[in-house]
A and B are shown apart, each in its own frame.
Chain A
Amino acid sequence: MTATHALLVALGGAVGAPARLLVGHWLRTRWSAVPPAGTLAVNVGGSLLLGLLVGGGAGPGWLTLLGTGFCGAFTTFSTLALEVWEAVEDGRRAEAAAVVGLSLVLGLGAAALGYALAS
């Protein structure tokens, strides 16, 4: 059971992490987006998906593969914290506030939306 779950987490993580890289790359090259926009996009998308899974009562296998594995690796807190810290350090307070505000409003909103839609 635990070995199967470890395998599901690894599989989801192996897909989720490169998927985040590709989303960021696509937003930067196709839409000339700044890097924090890529972080915001994956965090909002991953929160929506996890909200749907948890709200919809997904089984433990799906939760482990898509929730713990994919959504966990697709979304990131470390890069978000880095982007906020860098903006604060460089005195770009408006950017720091925008990154935090948008992450909270859109990220939590997406999670709540997914949760409500699926429940």
Chain B
Amino acid sequence: MPAREGAFPDARLLGAVAAGGVLGSLGRWAVGLALPHTAGGMPWATVVVNVTGAFAMGLLVAFLVDRPGVHRLLRPFVGVGMLGGWTTFSTLAVDVVQLGAADRVPVLLGYLVGTLVVGVAAVGAGAALGRRVWPGP
């Protein structure tokens, strides 16, 4: 997200987002290497990154509430770069298509509905924890 509506994203903002994207993407790739899944099996690595990334996004939003003095690049670096790089929608979508092509409907539904429901709940859990840790000014 740009710092101001209408202001073109400047080099520092793009650089912060790119740096966060590198870190998040490398982390997601490492999780994928650690948790390989068989064809037709549950893609646990993608579930793990998406749910933990959603939880971290809830924490970040709770941290940023009522903090106008925070560095303007913090949210783009962490929220757009790191968590955007760590989580993925494209892999979820293509995994679902491949599970459908392989007639693995129960796995497909568990993966898709589970990621969505647990992911959205994880944002709420992260935000709730964040509000307790940082009660705000």
Interface residues of A (CB under 8 A from B): 5-6, 9-10, 12-18, 20-22, 24-25, 28-29, 35, 43, 46-47, 49-51, 54, 64, 67-69, 71-82, 84-85, 88-89, 100, 103-104, 107-108, 110-112, 115
The answer to whether B9 touches A21, judged by C-beta atoms less than 8 angstroms apart, is yes
In the complex, number of A-B residue pairs with CB atoms less than 8 Å apart: 185
Main secondary structure of the interface of A (DSSP, over half): helix
Interface residue ranges, B against A (CB under 8 Å): 1-2, 5-6, 8-9, 13-14, 17-22, 24-26, 28-29, 32, 49-50, 53-54, 56-58, 61, 76, 79-81, 83-94, 96-98, 100-101, 112, 115-116, 119-120, 122-124, 127
Picked from A17, A43, A51, A85, the residue with its CB within 8 Å of the CB of B81 is A17
Within 8 Å by CB of B29, from A6, A21, A28, A107, lies A6
- Give the CA-CA distance A111 to B91 in the complex, in Å: 9
19 CB < 8 A contacts A-B:
A17-B18, A17-B21, A17-B25, A18-B14, A18-B17, A21-B1, A24-B1, A46-B89, A47-B89, A49-B90, A68-B29, A72-B88, A72-B91, A76-B80, A77-B50, A77-B88, A80-B119, A82-B123, A88-B120
**B92–A77 contact, CB under 8 A?**
yes
Complex: A16 Cα to B21 Cα, angstroms: 7
The reply to whether B89 and A107 contact each other, CB–CB distance below 8 Å, is yes
Extra contacts, 19 of them, besides A22-B14, A72-B90, A82-B57 (Cβ < 8 A), are A5-B29, A9-B25, A9-B29, A10-B25, A12-B25, A15-B18, A17-B20, A18-B21, A25-B8, A47-B93, A67-B91, A69-B29, A73-B24, A78-B50, A78-B54, A78-B84, A85-B127, A110-B93, A115-B98
